[in-house]
Homo-oligomer: A and B are copies of this chain.
């Protein structure tokens, strides 16, 4: 429970100029003091990566608005340990991301990783993504409305220990901030994910692309909710242990 005026840390992986961050910023300001610490440029697909090999710079753009020359994870860490002088925010919001963060893709996601880092630092954290595909026009309103609802809830009630939320909002007219489901992380198998091309000098190069493959993971997955036009809220944690196989492997004789 936050005492006095809540402190909200806002980050993303689309960069400090990202449309989704700009859209949600004024809404969150109505709930408390908002400090923005985000990458100085787009950092999609960076996963939970930390910059260890070089120093980081903090650029103050204006009061409570900072651009970091690193990853989303760096931005959160630098905010808490550098900018805020170890005052722990009451809430971390990562987003609103332009594009989905669903199924196994979340392990690559900078948006989700900022929330991971918040969780490691003991901050109740939510990642919010708008499921915009094929360059369609983003409709930020419902995502913003739902983010505010969830932010209010988390500021009041916190989140279960070590748990953060991965929220995906359909980019459709049917979507409503009142229609959401608690979901599980779906599984997806990809196909055809590397394009080979030839550069102007005749040398080959490769570009990572992706095509949606088979979906697994049952009926309660994040992607199933999105396909039904409903907001998906997946509680995640950082424990990757597969407890289901511990007993089986304990009999391992090498």
Interface residues of A, Cβ cutoff 8 Å to B: 42, 44-53, 55-58, 71, 73-74, 77-78, 81-82, 104, 106-108, 113, 116, 120, 122, 146, 149-150, 152-153, 160, 162-163, 180, 182, 184-185, 187, 189-190, 193-194, 196-197, 199, 203-208, 233-246, 248-250, 252, 254
Query: How distant is the Cα of A45 from the Cα of B50 in the complex, in angstroms?
Result: 5
Query: How distant is the Cα of A146 from the Cα of B254 in the complex, in angstroms?
Result: 9
Nearest chain-B residue to A157 (Cβ)? B252
Of B180, B206, B235, the contact of A58 (CB 8 Å cutoff)? B206
> Contacts of A208 on B, CB cut-off 8 Å?
50-52, 56, 74, 77
Q: How far is the CB of A170 from chain B (nearest CB, A)?
A: 17
Query: How distant is the Cα of A5 from the Cα of B57 in the complex, in angstroms?
Result: 50
Q: Is the interface of A mostly helix, strand, loop or mixed?
A: mixed
Nearest chain-B residue to A196 (Cβ)? B82
Query: How distant is the Cα of A162 from the Cα of B185 in the complex, in angstroms?
Result: 14
Excluding A81-B194, A82-B194, A180-B254, 17 further A-B contacts by CB distance (< 8 Å) are A47-B47, A47-B73, A48-B48, A50-B108, A52-B208, A57-B203, A73-B108, A74-B208, A77-B193, A104-B120, A107-B238, A120-B189, A122-B189, A153-B252, A160-B245, A182-B249, A235-B246
Q: How far is the CB of A173 from chain B (nearest CB, A)?
A: 21
Q: Are A49 and B52 in contact (CB under 8 A)?
A: no
> Contacts of A182 on B, CB cut-off 8 Å?
246, 249-250, 252
Number of copies: 2
Q: Are B241 and A236 in contact (CB under 8 A)?
A: yes
Nearest chain-B residue to A58 (Cβ)? B206
Considering residues A81, A146, A233, A236, which has the most beta carbons from chain B within 10 angstroms of its beta carbon?
A81
> Contacts of A163 on B, CB cut-off 8 Å?
242, 245
Query: How distant is the Cα of A110 from the Cα of B22 in the complex, in angstroms?
Result: 32
> Contacts of A113 on B, CB cut-off 8 Å?
47, 107
Q: Are B108 and A254 in contact (CB under 8 A)?
A: no
Considering residues A49, A113, A185, A249, which has the most beta carbons from chain B within 10 angstroms of its beta carbon?
A49
Nearest chain-B residue to A254 (Cβ)? B149
Query: How distant is the Cα of A108 from the Cα of B116 in the complex, in angstroms?
Result: 10
A56-B208, A193-B77, A242-B160 known; A49-B249 Cβ under 8 A:
no
A196-B82, A234-B241, A252-B153 known; A108-B48 Cβ under 8 A:
yes
